[in-house]
C-alpha cells in the first residue's frame, strides 16, 4: 500500500512478472519513488522434457526472448546439454540469466526487441539450411519468426512456459484510483491490453471520473513505440516511452517525469 501520497509526485503501479516487479519496486523505493507492486500473471511450465531436449540440441541458433524462457528451459534440460552454433538473448536481463548458467559468447542487441535481434550480424548472413529455435512463452509476437523465414531459415518455437492471468475484483480500478496511482509501467502489449481492460471495467455513470483518470490523466510509461502506438489505439492519451524495458531505462524515464513535474 502507498502511504503519504501527497509527498510524492508519482505513485507508480508496477505490473511486471513477480521477480521483475520485486526488483524494480526495490529500486524505485531506494530513489524515494512510491509504488505499488501488482503482478498480473504467473508463470507455469509448459513444454515437456522430450520436446525441450529435441529443440535445444538440434538447432544451429537458439534465441531466448525472456528470462523465464531461459529458466524454464534449463529446468527441463540442463544448459550444459544444449547444443548450438550461436545463442541470442533479446535483452540484457535475458543475457544475464544465460551468463548465470555459465554460457558464453551470447549475442544481444542494443535495441532490446525483435527488430534489434534481426539486425544482428549473425542473422544477416545466409540462413539457408539453418535451423533456429525461438524459446518463449505461450503466444506472442510473430514478427521475428516471419522475418527469419523470409531469410530462408527453418523456425521452431519452444514454448517453455505459459502465462496464467490472475483474477482481480471488478473494482480493482477503483482501488488503484483511491491509492492515487498516477503512473503505470507497461512493458508488453499483453500487459497493456490487460491493464486497459482492468482500468476500464467501471462503466456506471457516477464513476466516469475514474475512467477519465486512467484514459487522460494517468501517465502510461511504455517500453517501446510499438506499445505506445497500441496505447493510442486503445484510447489512452498520456503516454511516455521509456525506450527499454530494463530497470535503468524505466528509472531514467521516471526521474525525467519527476523533474518535469517540479
Please tell me the predicted confidence (pLDDT) of residue 262.
67
Q: How many Cα atoms occupy the beta-carbon half-sphere of 142 within 13 Å?
A: 4
Name the domain boundary from 120, 135, 164: 164
Give the C-alpha separation, 59 to 173, whole Å.
Answer: 45
| 63/28 same-domain check | no
| 32/55 same-domain check | no
Phi, psi of 68 (to 5 degrees): -60, -35
- Segment 156-172 shows an average pLDDT of 95
- Segment 102-106 shows an average pLDDT of 95
For 155-200, the DSSP string reads EEEEEEEEEEEPP--TTHHHHHHHTT--EEEE-SHHHHHHHHHHHT
Kindly tell me if the per-residue pLDDT of 117 is higher than 80. Answer: yes
| 59/157 same-domain check | yes
| 148/78 same-domain check | yes
Per the structure block, which three cell numbers stand in for 70?
Answer: 531461459
Domains held by the chain: number: 2
Q: How confident is the model at residue 162 (pLDDT cuts 50, 70, 90)?
A: very high
| 52/154 same-domain check | yes
| 51/156 same-domain check | yes
Please tell me the predicted confidence (pLDDT) of residue 73.
98
Name the domain boundary from 118, 133, 164: 164
| 142/156 same-domain check | yes
Kindly tell me if the per-residue pLDDT of 5 is higher than 80. Answer: no
Residue with cell 471495467: 201
| 150/245 same-domain check | no
Q: Is the dihedral of CA 185, 68, 165, 157 positive or negative?
A: positive
Residue 89 and residue 95 in contact, taking contact as beta carbons nearer than 8 Å: yes
Please tell me the predicted confidence (pLDDT) of residue 203.
54
Please tell me the predicted confidence (pLDDT) of residue 22.
79
What is the domain-level CATH number for residue 198?
Answer: 3.40.50.10090
| 57/103 same-domain check | yes
Q: Please write the tens of the pLDDT for every residue from 69-87.
A: 999 999 999 999 999 999 9
- Segment 199-211 shows an average pLDDT of 68
Phi, psi of 93 (to 5 degrees): -65, -40
Tell me which residue range forms the domain holding 125: 44-164
Kindly tell me if the per-residue pLDDT of 202 is higher than 80. Answer: no
Of residues 194 and 2, more confidently modeled: 194
| 58/131 same-domain check | yes
Kindly tell me if the per-residue pLDDT of 6 is higher than 50. Answer: no
Name the domain boundary from 164, 195, 219: 164
Give the C-alpha separation, 114 to 91, whole Å.
Answer: 10
Give the C-alpha separation, 186 to 168, whole Å.
Answer: 18
| 233/251 same-domain check | yes
| 159/81 same-domain check | yes
Q: Please write the tens of the pLDDT for every residue from 26-51.
A: 888 888 888 999 999 999 999 999 99
Amino acid at each position: 500500500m502507498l502511504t503519504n501520497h501527497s509527498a510524492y509526485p508519482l505513485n507508480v503501479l508496477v505490473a511486471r512478472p513477480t521477480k521483475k516487479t520485486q526488483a524494480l519496486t526495490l529500486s524505485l523505493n531506494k530513489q524515494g519513488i512510491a509504488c505499488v507492486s501488482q503482478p498480473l500473471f504467473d508463470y507455469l511450465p509448459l513444454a515437456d522434457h522430450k520436446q525441450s531436449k529435441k529443440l535445444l540440441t538440434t538447432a544451429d541458433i537458439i534465441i531466448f526472448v525472456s528470462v523465464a524462457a531461459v529458466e524454464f528451459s534449463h529446468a527441463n534440460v540442463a544448459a550444459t546439454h544444449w547444443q548450438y552454433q550461436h545463442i541470442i538473448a533479446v535483452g540484457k536481463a535475458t543475457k544475464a540469466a544465460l551468463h548465470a548458467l555459465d554460457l558464453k559468447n551470447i549475442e544481444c542487441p542494443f535495441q532490446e526487441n525483435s527488430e534489434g535481434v534481426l539486425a544482428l550480424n549473425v542473422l544477416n548472413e545466409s540462413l539457408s539450411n539453418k535451423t533456429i529455435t525461438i524459446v518463449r512463452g505461450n503466444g506472442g509476437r510473430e514478427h521475428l519468426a516471419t522475418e527469419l523465414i523470409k531469410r530462408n531459415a527453418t523456425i521452431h518455437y519452444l514454448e517453455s512456459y505459459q502465462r496464467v492471468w490472475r483474477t482481480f475484483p471488478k473494482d480493482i480500478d477503483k482501488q488503484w484510483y483511491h491509492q492515487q496511482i498516477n503512473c503505470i509501467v507497461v512493458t508488453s502489449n499483453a500487459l497493456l491490453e490487460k491493464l486497459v481492460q482492468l482500468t476500464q471495467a467501471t462503466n456506471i455513470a457516477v464513476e466516469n471520473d475514474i475512467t477519465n483518470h486512467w484514459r487522460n490523466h494517468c501517465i502510461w510509461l511504455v517500453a517501446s513505440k510499438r506499445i505506445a502506438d497500441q496505447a493510442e489505439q486503445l484510447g489512452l492519451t498520456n503516454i511516455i516511452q521509456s525506450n527499454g524495458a530494463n530497470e535503468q531505462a524505466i528509472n531514467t524515464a521516471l526521474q525525467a517525469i519527476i523533474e518535469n513535474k517540479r
